[in-house]
Each structure stands twice: as structure tokens, then as C-alpha cells.
């Protein structure tokens, strides 16, 4: 299936003020280049640095973005290295950074990648196929407690302990559909019918663990903000509460100014806000968009703008 960019109109409208007069914007989750091409169209003087850790995504984007010629430079890397990629290119600052987290439709739909519990495939789930850790090791080699902890933490799954025990008892587990069946059987029948497919949360947890998704996001957000020039904007599209919590907390922290108690006559903390929140609340898709593109259902978009900081970059 083609990947339809989520909240594309909103992403463009909110990032455009920062890039409409030119400069570099970085799409750190390039995917099929849907958001990137929409921005390149609307900001004809802007240049794109596109990053993705999946070589298939980069190849597809290379073709899709070829009409923009030398305005586009693409790199295979983990977005946690965004600062290093820009440094290698000699780019001191950028006008926009976009994160569209998670997996793309072509990744989900490709049986061989092992992301989907609906299609039989190997237990893989690596976004970067050169990486060593795959879902096969997590499912077959982690201890029961470690596995339960991954499923509980990253899947917010209340039956994590039962699921981990069932997996351990049935090892070796070799493919996605067998795994989904084991998970389903481990969940009490009465609760199987609520909250979508019973394997959904565990598959999400395994994917997050395999790709270190939350760790990469926590490292990359400060890197992205540090790269922005004043007035530059950072947008993040997240798809579950764990990601959104990281973004919301980081934005709130960075948009806080002085934290001295009101009783202090003068500021002693010297804390300065580095970001201004462009979206006070997360933007969510309309019912129309969700009907057209069900993958958009859980999307939340947050955008912040870089402020001038008088004392240099302290954080
Ligand atoms: C939801 S898709 C992006 C779709 C894209 N916005 C579009 O319009 O086509 C997410 C992409 O980010 C990539 N990705 C996820 N985590 C990454 C990371 N830590 N570093 C680099 N790329 C990552 C995935 O490989 C995937 O291609």
C-alpha cells in the first residue's frame, strides 16, 4: 500500500512560516517523502535534508523526490544522530525539523519485515535491516521477566506477565502469526474483544524494543532543537501515548522560563525558555481523514518554535 502522509495539510501550514523564505528543513523520518514533497512544493526556495534508517524507504524517496534535484539530500541514518549528520554536511542551523514517528504503510504491509500480526512473516521488525537485534531474539532469548517488562512498559499491556509466560512455554516461536495466536490465547477470553486485536499492544512493544524507538526520540529532540535557528520550527507526529508523553514533556520543559519562586525579588535561576509552543494542545486528524486513512486515527501533532536565547545553548 502507498503511504498517505498523516495530517499533511496541518504539518505544511505549521512549518511553512519557518521555511517559506528558504533555508534547510530536515525530515528525519523521510519514509516515502510525502510530507517532504508537500513542503518542497509550498516552499520553493527551501532545501531538504532527508534521513531514514530504512534503505527501502530511502530508495523509494529518491525516485519520488528526483524532480527537486539538488534541493534534496538524503541520508541513511538513525535520527538520534541528526546533529552529527548536519555537522558532516557543514550545516550550522536549519529552519525546520519534522519527526513523523513509527512505521510507514509499506513497512507494515511488507510480510517479510515482520511488523504485522495479520500477515505471516519472520519475527524481524527491524527498521534498519543491518541492525543485529530483531524481534526473533527478543521473543526467543529474553528471560521471562525481561520480556514481560518490555510488553508491560512499551505495550501498556496489563496481561504482560501471562503473555510472557505463554511465549516462553511455546519457544521457539518462529513467525508473526504463530506469535499473535499465542498472545491471543494468553489473554482472558472476556477481554479479547476490547481494544482492537489482542496482539496489537504486544507487537507495538516488541517494535519499540527492537528499534529503541523511545530512546532514539529522547536523544533526537534536543539534537533537533539545537539545530534550529531562532524562528525555526520543530514538528512531531506521534502515534501512541508513550511517544506523545515524551514530546509533550520535552516541549513543556523547554518552553518554561524562570522557575524562581514568586517570593524572589530577582531571578536567580537564569533559566530561559528555548521554545514557544505553536500548538498549545496536540492537533488530531478529522473524522474525514481517519475514514480515508485509518492509520491516522491515533496521530497527534505538536509544533514548537525556537526562541532566541541570550546566553547561548545551555541545555
Ligand atoms: C511514519 S513513516 C514516515 C512517513 C513520511 N512522513 C511520509 O510522508 O512518507 C516513519 C519513517 O521513519 C523511519 N524511522 C523511524 N524511526 C527512525 C529513526 N530512529 N531514525 C531514522 N528513521 C526512522 C521509518 O523507517 C519510516 O520510514
Look at residues 195, 211, 227 and tell me which one is the last residue of a structural domain. 211
Determine the atom of ligand 1 nearest the C-alpha atom of 6: 8
Say if ligand 1 is within 6 A of residue 32 CB.
yes
Residue range 10-38: mean pLDDT, rounded: 97
The CATH number given to whatever domain includes residue 86 is 3.40.50.150
> Which residues lie below 8 Å from residue 173, measured CB to CB, with a gap of 6+?
123, 139, 140, 167, 179, 182
The answer, yes or no, to whether residue 314 has pLDDT greater than 50, is no
Q: Is 301 in the pocket of ligand 1 (CB under 6 A)?
A: no
- Give the pLDDT mean for 262-276: 89
Domain assignment present for 315? no
- From 52-56, 239-243, 270-274, the region with the lowest mean pLDDT: 270-274
Query: Does some domain include residue 53?
Result: yes
List pLDDT tens digits, range 219-266.
999 999 999 999 999 999 999 999 999 999 999 999 998 888 888 988
pLDDT score of 311: 55
CA of 190 to the centre of ligand 1 (A): 36
**Distance from Cα 135 to the centre of ligand 1, integer Å:** 18
Q: Is 8 a residue whose pLDDT tops 70? A: yes
Q: How far is the CA of 52 from the centre of ligand 1 (A)?
A: 6
- Residue whose Cα lies nearest atom 3 of ligand 1: it is 31
The reply to whether 81 and 173 lie within a common domain is no
* Confidence check: pLDDT of 192 > 80: no
Domain that holds residue 61: 8-100+213-306
If asked whether residues 91 and 224 sit together in one domain, one would say yes
104 lines ligand 1 (CB under 6 A): yes
Clarify whether residues 111 and 196 are in a common domain: yes
Alpha helices per DSSP H over the chain: 8-19, 34-42, 55-64, 82-88, 105-109, 135-141, 144-155, 160-169, 176-186, 200-211, 213-227, 241-254, 287-292
- pTM for the model stands at 0.94
How high is the pLDDT of residue 25? 98
Amino acid at each position: 500500500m502507498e503511504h498517505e502522509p498523516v495530517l499533511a495539510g496541518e504539518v505544511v501550514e505549521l512549518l511553512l512560516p519557518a521555511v517559506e523564505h528558504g533555508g534547510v528543513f530536515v525530515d528525519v523520518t523521510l519514509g516515502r517523502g510525502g510530507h517532504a514533497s508537500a513542503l518542497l512544493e509550498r516552499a520553493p526556495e527551501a532545501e531538504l535534508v532527508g534521513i531514514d534508517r530504512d534503505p527501502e524507504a530511502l530508495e523509494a524517496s529518491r525516485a519520488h523526490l528526483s524532480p527537486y534535484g539538488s534541493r534534496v539530500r538524503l541520508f541513511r541514518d538513525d535520527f538520534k544522530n541528526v546533529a552529527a549528520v548536519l555537522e558532516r554536511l557543514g550545516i550550522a542551523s536549519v529552519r525546520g525539523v519534522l519527526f513523523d514517528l513509527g512505521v510507514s504503510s509499506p513497512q507494515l504491509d511488507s510480510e517479510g519485515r515482520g511488523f504485522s500480526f495479520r500477515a505471516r512473516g519472520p519475527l524481524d521488525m527491524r527498521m534498519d535491516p543491518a541492525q543485529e537485534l530483531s524481534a526473533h531474539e527478543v521473543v526467543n532469548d529474553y528471560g521471562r521477566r525481561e520480556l514481560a517488562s518490555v510488553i508491560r512498559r512499551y505495550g501498556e499491556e496489563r496481561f504482560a506477565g501471562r503473555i510472557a509466560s505463554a511465549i516462553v512455554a511455546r519457544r521457539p516461536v518462529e513467525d508473526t502469526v504463530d506469535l499473535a495466536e499465542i498472545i491471543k490465547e494468553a489473554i482472558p477470553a472476556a477481554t479479547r474483544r476490547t481494544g482492537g486485536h489482542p496482539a496489537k499492544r504486544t507487537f507495538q512493544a516488541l517494535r519499540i524494543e527492537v528499534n529503541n524507538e523511545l530512546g532514539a526520540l529522547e536523544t533526537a529532540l534536543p539534537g533537533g532543537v539545537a539545530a534550529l535557528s531562532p524562528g525555526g520550527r520543530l514538528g512531531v507526529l506521534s502515534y501512541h501515548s508513550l511517544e506523545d508523553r515524551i514530546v509533550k514533556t520535552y516541549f513543556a520543559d523547554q518552553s518554561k522560563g524562570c522557575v524562581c519562586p514568586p517570593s524572589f525579588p530577582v531571578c536567580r535561576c537564569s533559566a530561559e525558555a528555548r521554545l514557544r509552543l505553536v500548538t498549545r494542545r496536540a492537533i488530531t486528524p478529522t473524522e474525514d481523514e481517519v475514514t480515508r486513512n485509518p492509520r491516522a486515527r491515533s496521530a497527534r501533532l505538536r509544533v514548537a518554535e525556537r526562541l532566541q536565547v541570550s546566553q547561548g545553548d545551555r541545555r
